[in-house]
Amino acid sequence: MSETTMSDNGVNVKRRRLLLGATSAMGAVGAVGVAVPFLGSWNPSAKARAAGAPAKADISKLEEGQQMIVEWRGKPVWVVKRSADSLATLETIGDRLSDPDSLMQQQPAYVPGTSARAVREDVAVIVGICTHLGCSPVYKPEVKPQDFDANWVGGFFCPCHGSRFDLSGRVFSGSPAPKNLVIPPHYYESDNILVVGLNPEGNS
């Protein structure tokens, strides 16, 4: 009887130790779980850091007619590689645009108000937010008649209210949008590295 009792006690002691160990381990895990969110509040997330920081993009693989999107301050920035034919077409449509020479300042001073409206003529860098009510237009590079424009020469179309912009982000006459799309501050760190969110050295 006494041996059985001791045996039971032995099992109980072992079981108790096992349960105590498991409980302690779970407590430690719980403490870590509480600590992580707390520590996270002291260290800004990558997204939070990126919200105010410049964004870099490697455009080495961007081909003519292609578009890539870079996020800067929570906004989409379109980067479009334009062909020589596209650039030539941009020079012929001024009479169809509300502000062909970009007289309303929607771009940094170092970005010329030419038809290309770019630091590098072959690459358009444009904030992808419509100047009407803040929708994001759609890239429509094909030169062909569209439901929204029978004489479409390529550009951006806002499906929200029908605003149309050319491949330089200039608004077509008759669109609800009152201004051309915004050109963000940017420069080229090298031939293939675009930096969005900072002005070139010596410019503001």
Give, for all 204 residues of the chain, the pLDDT tens digit.
444 444 444 445 555 454 445 444 434 333 333 332 222 323 334 554 455 789 999 999 999 999 999 999 999 999 999 999 999 999 999 999 999 999 998 999 999 999 999 999 999 999 999 999 989 999 999 999 999 999 999 999 999 999 999 999 999 999 999 999 999 999 999 999 999 999 998 776
Largest CA distance in the chain: 108
In whole angstroms, give the CA distance from residue 24 to residue 30.
10
Task: For residue 74, report the phi and psi dihedrals to the nearest 5 degrees.
Answer: 75, 10
CB 67 within 8 A of CB 80: yes
Q: How far is residue 189's CA from residue 204's CA, in Å, rounded to a whole number?
A: 16
Give residue 204's pLDDT.
66
* Residues facing 140 on adjacent strands: 155
Other residues' Cβ atoms within 10 Å of the Cβ of residue 196: 21
pTM for this entry: 0.74
Q: How far apart are CA 107 and CA 126, in angstroms?
A: 9
Residues 6+ apart with CB under 8 A from 183: 106, 107, 108, 111, 117, 118, 125, 126, 127, 169
CA atoms of 180 and 171, how far apart (whole Å): 5
- Minimal CA–CA distance to 87: which of 117, 107, 128? 117
DSSP E strand boundaries for the chain = 55-58, 67-72, 75-81, 123-127, 138-140, 155-157, 164-165, 186-188, 193-196
In whole angstroms, what separates CA 159 from the centre of its chain? 19
Backbone angles phi, psi at 125, to 5 degrees: -125, 110
- Name the β-bridge partners of 195: 56, 187
